[in-house]
Structures are given as C-alpha cells and as structure tokens.
Structure 1
C-alpha cells in the first residue's frame, strides 16, 4: 500500500470518527483523464475530506509556508501536495498543476485561495480559470457544506463536469472561467440546502 492510500485510510477513519460524513455525486468524477476538482473552502479539514471522498487520487497545491515546517515538509509530498507561493504569480506551481492535468491526474483546488471565515462562498481567484482554459481537463465543481463540530453532518457534493469547450474556443479570460466555476459551486451549495 502506498503512503497516499494509507493516509487516505487514516484520514477517513479520523474524519468519520469526528463527523457524520455524507458524500454525493461521486459518480460525476470521470475515472480517466485529467480533472480539475474545484471546491469551496470552509475548514482546514477540507483537503483531506476531498481526498477521502474522491474516487481518484487528488493532488493539492498547499501554501509554501507549510513546506517550511519540519514534519510537514516531509509528509506533504507523500500525500500528493506541492507548494504554491500565495499573493504572487507562482509560475512553477502553475507549471506543476498543468503537468499533472496533462498526465491525466486530478488537481484539487480551492479557488477562493483561503478559508472563508463566515462559511459564505467568496470570490474565486483567476488561477482556477487559468487551469480550466489552458488544459483539456474535465472541470468538476465540488461543494462542502456543514459544521465541522463533533457529531455534526458534513456533506460533500461533486457536481457534473462543466463544459468549457466554448470558453476555450472563444479564448475567454481566466477571470470569466473562474466565475463560471464559482457559479457552479454556488448552485451545488444551494441545491444541498
């Protein structure tokens, strides 16, 4: 068993011991090809929850500062995380993300760039739109809803892939592409109400 699968098993056991986890729409994740998996961000446990709930291995961008911490700098790469410098255009992180998508892997992103303090969906950053337009990856919206409080229900919903063919043909802006992704995440959040 590789470290990612072992980590997924351990994280799953921990999350299920703390919260009532409900997963919907996992059948919307294509089983082959590159996937850009975009979710809202309400808690530090969102990345492991997405990783546990998804039917395929997910690679995440993580803020570069985490890779300076003694234990995390060794652990994060084993669970498919790679660094991104926030607040600037990190060309290496963008290249890494595009390469993963071209290799047919799953790239998990939180387009808001940081956790929402209120639980409300914030504005997405252009990076998600960049990946959606510059790759041929399927773009799967994801919504996380609920309270990360012991015994409470946390629901994760995977939506149907968003059709980006027209936007790619029209050479739409990364901002417009991100707005479409956020709109789809918002719809999933409302549907789950």
Structure 2
C-alpha cells in the first residue's frame, strides 16, 4: 500500500496535463520488473526526481530517492518525502547512515534513486560523480541502471527563479545496467557509470525537439551546444566556492553555539587558530567514503 506515493503521482500527472508538459520516456525496459536496483541519474534541476520517478513507472516500479535532510525538515515537503519513503541524507551528520538504510531497502527489493554528482550541475552536463552510488550497488550485488533527464531544468533549477512555462517537453532515458564483477573497484565502476549517463544525456540533448525562443533563452543549453550555461570547468569553480561558503557558515554557527555555551558555563569558546580549519572536499561527501 502506498497511501502517499500514489496520490502524489496522481497530482503530478494532473500537473503535467494542466501545464501541457509532454514527458517522453525511453529505455524503461532496462529497469528490472521486480527485485532491487539502483538508478543513477544526472542532476540538472529540482524536479529531476519527479521525472525520473515518472519514467520508472513504465516498468511498474516506484523509486525511493536519496535527498538532503533539509527537504525532509520542510513543513510541506517533509511529510510527503517521508510518506513516499525516500531516504534522508544528513551531510553534517552520519554520512554512512544513508548507505546503511539503502542496503536495508535494497534487501527489501526496493529501487533506490541516486544523483551521483550530489548537487545540481550548473553546466547541465554530468561531472564529478561520487563513488557512493556505485559502492551501494556493488555491495548489495544489484543492477546499477544509468539514467538521464532533460528539459525539466527549464522549469526549476539552481540559481534561477522558477519558470512555470507551459508546453515544455521533458525527456527521460534509461540504459542497460552498468556491468561489474563482485568486489569491483568502485572508482572504475563510477567512471563507467558516468560515461553511460553522459551518453544518455547527449542522446536526449541531440533529440530534444525544442529550441531556445531567443538569445536570452539560451541559458538552458550547455556551452558546447551554443548555450550560455557555464562550462563544466566554470560550473565546478562556482560549486567549489559554494561549498567553501557553506563550510564557513557551518563553522561560524558552531563557534557561535560554543561561545553561547561558554558564556553560560563560564568557559571560553574555541576560536581563531584553535578552531576547526576549512578542509578540502572529502573524496565522497555523499557517503563519507
């Protein structure tokens, strides 16, 4: 029984009809009809999980996505995310918790949806995939299905105001499972997974039936296709600055909390050179690996 997921799907389908959004799905036959699997998709917008999940419906499957804990804490989205049995990822807490929960869910035969990049790509091209998604599939011994979505970033993506535009074409594609052997190297599998996702993205971009309305509308096209989106290198530089800013904000919050606690109990808070430094990115922030 899915008392939340089923009506949410119904609401999404109604929204598609009202907005005149056509969703084209390719390759759903690559998703197992039953049993566990991990779906790994590119990440270009805030609605990706809706459309990748919609595409999996053609295989008769419901996908449980890993998403930031903040989404679960929201008063509106939180109850829906929990009701649909998605997986919260606490980036400031136990980073392996999502892996343990995913393994448990896979043991129950569920399909887990992952965005290996860990954040939306401003270049709209796959890059910088973390190894946690491949590790998840390898450790559970389940199919690792590459996926791609295209078009929904025109509605809602990072750094732009939502644009509830009518008549937008959406495309979702799935490919054959990424091959791997028991005990395979996660980095090699991650590389093959990323290449498969990139091939699917390239295919969807090539066949996408709509074009920008004018020069100002070229923002949603990647730079190599004549769009004004940042190049992958520029997007990575922006993302790194954002990560540093977030770490600084978290560090400042911890220091403020420690100072408040010190004022209450008469002890001095740690600060200056004794405080935690801003460390470089870990190998895999998604899972801590």
**Aligned equivalents of 1:181, 1:20: Cα separation in 2:** 27
Q: Does the alignment pair 1:4 with 2:8?
A: no
Aligned with residue 154 of structure 2, among 143, 148, 153: 148
C-alpha deviations, 1:59-81, integer Å up to 9, x for none? 01110112222222222111221
Query: Matches of 2:16 and 2:154 in 1, distance apart?
Result: 10
Shift of 1:92: 1.5
Q: 1:30-109, aligned counterparts within 5 Å? A: 30-55=32-57, 56-86=61-91, 90-109=95-114
Query: Residue 186 of structure 2: which of 174, 179, 193 is its match?
Result: 174
List gaps (5 residues or longer) in structure 1.
none
The alignment of Structure 1 onto Structure 2 pairs a total of residues equal to 189
Structure 1 pair 12–53 and aligned structure 2 pair: CA distance change class (3 A): farther
Task: Report the CA distance between 1:97 and its aligned residue.
Answer: 0.7
Per-residue displacement from partner, 1:11-67 (whole Å, max 9, x unpaired)? Answer: 132234433211111111110110101100111010111112212011011101122
Which residues of structure 2 form unaligned runs of 5+?
156-164, 207-289
CA contact (8 A) 2:131 2:187 kept: yes
Where does residue 216 of structure 2 map in the other structure? Answer: none
Q: Judge conservation of contact 1:28–1:158 (CA < 8 Å) in 2.
A: yes
Whole-angstrom distance in 2 between the partners of 1:133 and 1:102 = 13
1:133 has 2:135 as partner: no
Q: Distance in 2 between matches of 1:190 and 1:70?
A: 37
Aligned to 2:198: 186
2:76 counterpart SS class: helix
CA distance 1:6–1:89, change in 2 (3 Å) = same
CA drift at 1:148: 2.6
**Is structure 2 residue 117 aligned with structure 1 residue 112?**
yes
Residue 86 (structure 1) shift: 2.7
| Alignment TM-score, normalising by the size of structure 1 | 0.89
User: Deviations along 1:164-192, whole A, 9 cap, x unmatched?
Assistant: 2x2x2xx3332222111111111112233
Match of 2:175 among 140, 152, 159: 159
Cα 1:115–1:100 change in 2 (3 A) is same
Contact 1:12–1:49 (Cα < 8 Å) also in 2: no
Rounded Cα–Cα distance in structure 2 between residues aligned with 1:94 and 1:134: 10
- Which moved further from structure 2: 175-184 or 83-92? 83-92
Query: Which segment drifts farther, 19-28 or 30-39?
Result: 19-28
Point out which structure has higher relative CO (alpha carbons under 8 A, 6+ apart): 1
